[in-house]
Amino acid sequence: MSTTKEIEHPIRKFSQQELEELNARLESFYPLPVDLHLKMNLDTGQMDALIRQALADHEAGKTRAL
């Protein structure tokens, strides 16, 4: 079995799509805890569009208090 160091170099050559596919495969084997997954999505900007839309909806009066 390869060590992390041995596979690190080839992974650096992956395209963005290949990295996303690898991430999805690894996540299917080893799912992240929800809070860590959310933090990673926030840190990488994957939630930015949803956040902007939610704020715009709120400013347009399309939300209500819970």
Sequence-ordered list of residues with C-beta below 8 angstroms from that of 57, at least 6 positions apart, any chain: 63
Sequence-ordered list of residues with C-beta below 8 angstroms from that of 22, at least 6 positions apart, any chain: 11, 14
Yes or no: say if 15 and 21 are a contact pair by the CB < 8 Å rule.
no
pLDDT at 12: 93
Sequence-ordered list of residues with C-beta below 8 angstroms from that of 38, at least 6 positions apart, any chain: 47
Per residue of the chain (66 residues), give pLDDT as tens: 568 888 898 999 999 999 999 989 998 888 888 888 899 899 999 999 999 999 999 999 999 988
